[in-house]
Structure 1
Amino acid sequence: MYYITENCIICGTCWEICPTRSIVEHEWYYRINQDTCVACGACAKVCPNGAIIKKKEAA
């Protein structure tokens, strides 16, 4: 699972690249719809600000 941090500059690069359109605009920021995200990491790779990070799973 990935999530968008407060470092997001709302540029839309992640939204454009997401194959499942799981990046959604919510008020004044983007968020990732975890129900449709396939955790491919494409958004994190293209984020110019490094604002999308992988959430660590509990052991």
Structure 2
Amino acid sequence: RTTDIVGLDVRLGIAEYLQSTLGERFAPPQILRDKVARGELGRKTGKGFFDWPA
């Protein structure tokens, strides 16, 4: 829920930064990459891991 509120794109950016500085342990999950690629960014687009009212 928090990831949807913050934005999946923001969460992905954070995870990619952590991965590049701290290693593979912090690699973002594929489902997060897939959702961002589809434009499902959370509350700001109405769809993420949850559906949000318009």
| TM-score w.r.t. length of structure 2 | 0.30
Of structures 1 and 2, the larger Rg is shown by 2
Greater strand content: 1
- Higher RCO (C-alpha 8 Å, min separation 6): 1
